[in-house]
Structure 1
Amino acid sequence: MAAGLSFFKLSFLLSLLSGGSDLLIPISRPGSEVVKFPPSCNRIECPSYEVIHAANGYEIRRYDTTVWISTEPIQDISLVDATRTAFFQLFAYIQGKNEYHEKIEMTAPVITQVSPSDGPFCESSFTVSFYVPKKNQPDPAPAENLHIQKWSPRYVAVRQFSGFVSDSSIGQEAAALEKSLEGTAWANAIEKSKEDGGVGSDSAYTVAQYNSPFEFSGRVNEIWLPFQIDD
């Protein structure tokens, strides 16, 4: 039973090994709303959120404080390759390679924060993070070459899409989210948050992935644009 569970965890964390597929079909299409809740979150723990607003092509969520265990930034030209490298570190972490020698339950999503390079053939910076289960968040286990991110409450503009994440299309999905937000108060808030050096200023966008590589239908991925609104 334990061996089967470990295999499931590894297969989940290595979902980007299936990258390279170009079958990125947006779930959100003209005349339809985004999916409100990733189905995989009915099976494993995900961070809770409140939907603030939904429109064609995007959704605005509010997340409370969350804790993530993150890799150091990885320099690469490929999001898929960088995330593959990072996933081995995260898998070892949840299997007990941490200072507490503690095994940790699988959660979703696994996220990749993307800071693109200035040129088309230059390396970008990718930070890959695992959502720490709520029971571990008061005292998350430290680990070598990983660091803990404690996120303050924040808003996130979200675009969902299906299929397997690939390098050839992820930029198009991020651009589509920005396009759908044009002319809205949310776009202004995102820009202000970046200019002020607040939430979302450390990356261009974040890619969230929820599914095992063995799930070929009903896959849900997301582009995130985090931001803050002054109360």
Structure 2
Amino acid sequence: MLRPEAAAALVLLLVWPGAGAERNEPPPCKEGRECFDYTLVCAESGYEARLYPASTWVGTRVNGSAYLPSVVKSFWRLFHYIQGRNQLKVHIPMTSPVLTRVKDEPGSQEFEVYFMVPRAFQELPPTPTEDTVFLERFPELRIYARYFGGWLTDENRKTQLHYLDGKLSHDGRATQAGQHFTAGYNSPMELFKRRNEVWRLADGDLGCSPTSPE
């Protein structure tokens, strides 16, 4: 557990807009950590179109809190699962990214946070022992993703999502309404070379260049 002074410093870093800002885009996967692999369909200025395979995740749901406190609370629930709070009592390696499903409804305070289950446990993942933690099978995902650095806060989540939506609208790319995802690739202790993303699920053909009028 973080000491009080360390926790206070972490909170300060999370709310300081310039903290951890990066000029160069870091790679999505760090050496030694398993990542959610994808096929890059195409890349446009401001976003990428990606195809992700079906996969199994462990998740938890939080209601009634703002984005950042909800993610922090959820993180520790899932961290306890991979540290042994599962029926097999096994340690499960951490993966990337940490996904958060966010409803687009104004004022919504319901968030679902997920860790990907490593390949070794994908087919038969250990059952959680906590009632607030569940396993979920994701179908193949067709994603539009936008990268940004620094710390993932509620403010920059909304800013980056607005930019992504504008680019996709300009290019005539349809997305599924009602939800979006955030993806975080770093430990809270990593102050630099941070990578975050906002995701939209594609509705229809997955591509980058502007669609031709019919």
2:51 aligns with one of 42, 62, 79:
62
Select which of 141, 154, 158 maps to 2:145: 158
Aligned partners of 2:97 and 2:184 also within 8 Å: yes
- Listed as ranges, the gaps of 5+ residues in structure 2 are 3-9, 207-214
Partner SS for 1:129: strand
Give the letter aligned to residue 77 of structure 2. Answer: Q
Q: How many residues align?
A: 197
Secondary structure of 1:182's counterpart equals helix
Matched position secondary structure for 1:91: helix
Deviations 1:137-183 (A, max 9, x none): 10111213211111111211000000011122211111111111123
1:227 offset after TM fit, Å?
Answer: 2.9
Match for 1:184: what amino acid?
Answer: D
Alignment of 1:90-169 (within 5 A): 90-118=78-106, 122-143=107-128, 144=130, 145-169=132-156
Asked whether the equivalents of residues 71 and 128 of structure 1 are also in contact (C-alpha less than 8 Å), the reply is: yes
> Which whole-Å CA distance do the structure 1 matches of 2:37 and 2:99 have between them?
15
Amino acid at match of 2:126: A
Q: Give distance in 2, aligned partners of 1:60 and 1:230.
A: 10
Q: Is the 8 A contact 1:107 1:131 kept in 2?
A: yes
Runs of 4+ with >4 A deviation: 15-18, 24-28, 228-231
Native 8 Å contact 1:154 1:228 kept in 2: no
Which residue matches 2:198?
Answer: 223
In percent, how many aligned pairs have the same letter?
27
Would you tell me which structure has more helix in proportion to its own residues? 1
Pair 23,91 (structure 1): closer, same or farther in 2 beyond 3 Å: same
Q: Which runs of 5+ in 1 are unaligned?
A: 1-5, 8-14, 29-34, 195-200
Letter in 1 for 2:118: P
TM-score, normalised on structure 2? 0.81
The structure-2 alpha-carbon separation of the partners of 1:16 and 1:62, relative to structure 1 and needing over 3 Å to count, comes to: farther
Deviations along 1:60-87, one digit per CA (max 9) or x if unpaired, are 0000111110102x12342110011111
CA RMSD across the alignment? 2.8
1:20-63 CA deviation, whole Å, 9 max, x = no partner?
232385869xxxxxx594142x3300011110010110000000
